Amino acid sequence: MSTPAQTFAGWLAAARVAAQQPPAQARLPLLVAVQVVGSVAEGVLDTVAPALEGGHRLHREAGGWHLDVPAGQATAGLNAIAAALRARSLCGPWRNEQLAVPNAQGEVIATVERGAVRVLGIATRAVHLVGLAPDGRMWVQLRSRTKPNNPGMWDTLMGGMVSAADTLDEALARETWEEAGLHVSDLAQVAHGGHVLFGRPSREGGGIGYMVERIDWFRATVPEGMDPANQDGEVERFELLDLGEVRQRVAQGGFTQEAGLVIGGFLDSSA
């Protein structure tokens, strides 16, 4: 019979492979003002392009979809595409939140509604916080059962997207307060621990999405007596677990894949 640690190691190896998978169907590059910003599954934009509002020109040529926009109108054009996808039930949950749209060099050239990023194959960024008690146990959260993604699963102390308005540090501070009711400035030994990369098919839009994401994770110690308390309604409860229990729950599939990989990175760095 395998031990929890060996089972966790097997889960982690499989999860790292699953985090890097090719698209489930053929995809075409998406270009904005001649710059590649994402990709779309075959057929997705065929009905969107002729009906695009706002006078934006979206057309297919040279093996890809091109959004021709003058300088300063890339955001408006991409959000017009997002709205058209939403009208056809071809996007993820609508959040009224803008995420940055980087080009192939990582330069931000526009923003777009969060609900459209997976269908458009646009690279996103997220941040997680591994929170430890002074005795080495780990704070984890149970995600609300009403969350659109991974409801009722275990997660790190905090995990959230980096919005277009945020720097990485600002996203860390905002999400830590909203999800855990903690101020980063009150935590001890806050440090960037590493990152996890994803490239895998997404169920959003009915299975036509593709997730491209970098998760930067931080570690910190939550001082004695400073228990987390959710502020935004997205967390059902928090628990303080020893690392053996964390490994076991991850191996049993109780944590989100993102959180499990972040925890794997933390445990590797702490070994």
Give the CATH number, domain containing residue 164: 3.90.79.10
Same domain, 155 and 96: no
Within this chain, do residues 14 and 130 fall inside the same structural domain, yes or no? yes
Q: How far apart are CA 47 and CA 51, in angstroms?
A: 7
- Taking only the tens place, the pLDDT of each residue in 67-106 is 999 878 999 999 999 999 999 999 999 999 999 999 999 9
pLDDT tens for each residue of 157-186: 999 999 999 999 999 999 999 999 999 999
Nearest Cα neighbor of 128 from 93, 165, 168 is 168
Collapsed DSSP state (helix, strand, coil) of residue 191? strand
List Cα–Cα distances, 83 to 16, 70, 91, 213, in angstroms: 34, 20, 9, 22
Q: How many CB atoms lie within 10 A of CB 53?
A: 10
The one-letter amino acid at 39: S
Determine the distance from the C-alpha atom of residue 64 to the mean position of all C-alpha atoms in its chain, rounded to a whole number: 25
* Res 225 pLDDT > 70: yes
Last residue of a domain, one of 55, 87, 116: 116
pTM above threshold 0.75: yes
Same domain, 156 and 249: yes
Per-residue confidence (pLDDT) for residue 5, from 0 to 100: 53
What was the pLDDT predicted at 6?
Answer: 62
Instruction: Please give the Cα distance from 183 to 248 (Å, whole number).
Output: 29
What's the domain range around 93?
Answer: 27-116
**Separation of alpha carbons 154 and 237, rounded Å:** 10
